[in-house]
Amino acid sequence: MNLRELLKNKSLVTLKPLRSAFLPSLCATGLCLILYPASATTGGKSELRFFFLFILTFLMYVIFYLQFNKDIAHSVEHLIAEIRLKLIDRVRLMDLHFFEKADRESIYTVLTLDAKAVAEISHLIAVTIQAVLTLAVSLGYMGFMFLPAAVLIVISGALVGMIYAFNQILIRDFVYKVRDREKELFEAVGHLLDGFKELRVNNRKSDDFFHRRFKQSASQLRALRLQSGSHLIDNYTLTYSLWQAMLIAIAMIMPFTGIVSGNLLMTFVGLVLDMPISLLIGYIPRILAALISIQRLYELEKILAETQPEVWEETASATEGFRFENCRYEQIVFRYEQEERRAFSLGPLNLSVQTGEIVFITGGNGSGKTTLIKLLTGLYPLHSGQFFLNGAETDIRNCRGLFAAVFYDFHLFDRLYGLKDIDADKVNGLIKLMGLENKVRFEGNRFSTLDLSTGQRKRLAMVAAMMEDKPVYVFDEWAAEQDPHFRQYFYETLLPSFKAQGKTVIAVTHDDRYFHVADRVIKLEYGQLLK
């Protein structure tokens, strides 16, 4: 189901609250119809009958109006959550090649602000319809309104305003909680965009991040917003009902004074009409803005659809018990068309990697080292060539679970997504091994801070990669920001320890003084391997 179909189907869900908008308007009409015969009646029993009928109709109005707003709030929050989850799910499945060319700021704006604006359009339309109905009712009962009791109206308005302000102070804490939760949700979006490669290379981590971080945050935000919205609706309904009750009470009492004239009644209508007219003036621009947001959502969905997101499952290479022996790349080619530049081509290349082998990749700037890393890990598609795992040809995209990578432009997550039953002592032991024990701790299933220097962040990313315990480690200029001590530790201690564990290491590096650590050093120039 695409987004257009989703919005169409969800609009059917909002028909229920949309239909319920007629009920409070119907009650308001009934109140006006009751007032006319009541004001013309002089008999005691008739007056009492109209009084009880008025009270009953007024209570029905309050109940229906309250239910109408809560139905709208419920539909809106569910629609916001579903739109965001659907688009986030599509973004995380994009091909990296297309993701790198996408306008990230536009994606972020659409996923946050525009999705909310679209979800709220049903509320805006429903309230606008109710305002129109209320306006029509007020116009129909124009002759029964008045303005001889301006002082009473001012006092009534001040009293209702104080009640509303007092309740808003009590609700303020809920509003702050909603903002804090929204911040966490937007941070999760930032993690998705900044850590796209780390998620795309590890399907288990991607699924865990989506379900445990983003989906959970969205659900918690939805619950908080529903709770906050319910209190706001209660407060608005209370004050609005009191205001209307006072106005109606004045309208019923003032005719007995004998000072009400037709002109005064016409003037009072202006006060009663003020609210629906204000709603119309305020909501119509927001409806137009929401329509623009709908167009942006359609455009984003079209872009995501053009990327042809892959539906794939990790093979045995990502499961426990799988034994990695070797992988082989034969005549692999990747072409990258750069706008306003000549096309860059990598390959054809032949490369094989064995278990327990350390392979260094070196070359000048622009030689294609980072592109080769993305190609070897399955993040870039093979335009031609074959990939063999343990001697059997397979689709490299299904084998991304082989690799634990720390890319040059890596993203550091605050949690170890994709891992179950995490041993905090083991994580903190690795943190100590990286010399970060005085900087960061792993507690509460997350790192205590990510506010570290670039070199320290790379060491923490190394901890995360080691916890993933994959057959193949991929490092792109990992030692570039390390001090001499940790640079030497990386090459002469850490890499040999990986080799002793049977791990394969593919590392991009310029540190020729440590080339002796590698089993092989591959030089890349202009997209070609040199012998």
**Mean pLDDT on 135-161:** 60
pLDDT per residue as tens digits for the range 285-301: 566 566 667 777 777 77
Nearest alpha carbon to residue 466 among 419, 519, 514: 419
Q: Bridge partners of 327?
A: 353, 389
Please tell me the distance from the alpha carbon of residue 371 to that of residue 476, in angstroms, as a whole number.
Answer: 11
**Mean pLDDT on 437-448:** 93
**Mean pLDDT on 495-521:** 94
Please tell me the distance from the alpha carbon of residue 386 to that of residue 407, in angstroms, as a whole number.
Answer: 24
**Mean pLDDT on 339-345:** 59
Q: Bridge partners of 531?
A: none
Burial of 211 (0-12, 13-18, 19+ CB in 10 A): exposed
Tokens representing 166?
């007092």
Q: Read off φ and ψ for residue 523, nearest 5 degrees.
A: -105, 135
pLDDT at 43 over 60: no
Please tell me the distance from the alpha carbon of residue 155 to that of residue 398, in angstroms, as a whole number.
Answer: 72
pLDDT at 424 (0 to 100): 94
Helix/strand/coil for 392? strand
**Mean pLDDT on 312-316:** 52
* 15 Cβ contact list (under 8 Å, min separation 6): none
pLDDT at 19 over 70: no
Q: Which of 15-29, 391-405, 420-434 has the lowest mean pLDDT?
A: 15-29
**Mean pLDDT on 280-284:** 52
- Convert 67-100 to b/e letters by CB count within 10 Å (16 or more is b): bbbbbbbbbbbebbbbbbbbbbebbbbbbbeebe
pLDDT at 159 over 80: no
pLDDT at 401 (0 to 100): 86
Helix/strand/coil for 363? strand
pLDDT at 8 (0 to 100): 56
Type of residue at 79: L
141 pLDDT tier (thresholds 50, 70, 90) = low
Task: Answer for the pair 73, 120: CB distance below 8 angstroms, yes or no.
Answer: no
CA triple 476-481-484, angle to 5 deg: 115
pLDDT at 315 (0 to 100): 54
pLDDT at 475 (0 to 100): 96
In this structure, the number of other CB atoms found within 10 A of the CB of residue 26 comes to 16
Please tell me the distance from the alpha carbon of residue 147 to that of residue 247, in angstroms, as a whole number.
Answer: 10
Task: Answer for the pair 504, 471: CB distance below 8 angstroms, yes or no.
Answer: yes
**Mean pLDDT on 483-487:** 92
* 165 Cβ contact list (under 8 Å, min separation 6): none
Nearest alpha carbon to residue 184 among 213, 227, 148, 152: 213
Quick one: CA torsion of 253, 258, 260, 261, rounded to 10 degrees?
A: 150
CA triple 276-281-282, angle to 5 deg: 95
pLDDT at 262 (0 to 100): 42
Q: Which of 246-260, 364-378, 425-439, 472-486 has the lowest mean pLDDT?
A: 246-260
pLDDT at 302 over 80: no
Handedness of CA 188, 191, 197, 199 (dihedral sign): negative
Instruction: Calculate the alpha carbon distances from 476 to 49, 302, 360, 368, 462 in Å.
Output: 85, 33, 10, 12, 12
DSSP one-letter code for 317 = G
Please tell me the distance from the alpha carbon of residue 131 to that of residue 143, in angstroms, as a whole number.
Answer: 20
pLDDT at 198 (0 to 100): 87
Tokens representing 93?
């499945």
pLDDT at 486 (0 to 100): 92
Between 431 and 239, name the one with better pLDDT.
Answer: 431
163 pLDDT tier (thresholds 50, 70, 90) = confident
431 pLDDT tier (thresholds 50, 70, 90) = very high
Please tell me the distance from the alpha carbon of residue 207 to that of residue 347, in angstroms, as a whole number.
Answer: 33
495 pLDDT tier (thresholds 50, 70, 90) = very high
What value does the mean pLDDT of the chain take? 76
**Mean pLDDT on 494-514:** 94
In terms of phi and psi (left: phi > 0; alpha: psi -120 to 50; beta: otherwise), the region of 368 is left
**Mean pLDDT on 215-219:** 84
Burial of 102 (0-12, 13-18, 19+ CB in 10 A): middle
Residue whose tokens read 């990578």: 405
Helix/strand/coil for 108? helix
pLDDT per residue as tens digits for the range 169-206: 777 677 667 766 776 787 788 788 888 888 888 888 88
CA triple 275-171-223, angle to 5 deg: 100
Q: Which H or E element spans position 472?
A: strand 472-476
**Mean pLDDT on 226-234:** 76
Please tell me the distance from the alpha carbon of residue 326 to that of residue 391, in angstroms, as a whole number.
Answer: 8
Residues belonging to the chain: 531
Among 153-167, 271-285, 486-500, the range of highest mean pLDDT = 486-500
Instruction: Calculate the alpha carbon distances from 524 to 97, 269, 307, 372 in Å.
Output: 21, 82, 29, 9
**Mean pLDDT on 55-82:** 75
Nearest alpha carbon to residue 522 among 349, 359, 356, 345: 359
- Integer Rg of the chain from CA: 33
Among 239-243, 277-281, 489-493, the range of highest mean pLDDT = 489-493
Q: Which H or E element spans position 335?
A: strand 326-336
pLDDT per residue as tens digits for the range 403-420: 999 998 899 999 999 898
**Mean pLDDT on 479-508:** 93
**Mean pLDDT on 351-379:** 90
Q: Which of 278-292, 378-392, 417-431 has the lowest mean pLDDT?
A: 278-292
**Mean pLDDT on 385-402:** 88
The domains of the chain, with CATH numbers, are 3-306 (1.20.1560), 323-530 (3.40.50.300)
Residue whose tokens read 């947001």: 293
**Mean pLDDT on 208-220:** 85
pLDDT at 153 (0 to 100): 60
Task: Answer for the pair 124, 290: CB distance below 8 angstroms, yes or no.
Answer: yes
Q: Which H or E element spans position 332?
A: strand 326-336
In this structure, the number of other CB atoms found within 10 A of the CB of residue 502 comes to 11
Please tell me the distance from the alpha carbon of residue 174 to that of residue 177, in angstroms, as a whole number.
Answer: 5
| Percent of the chain residues topping a pLDDT of 90 | 25
507 pLDDT tier (thresholds 50, 70, 90) = very high
Look up the pTM and report it. Answer: 0.66
pLDDT at 49 (0 to 100): 74
| Percent of the chain residues topping a pLDDT of 70 | 64
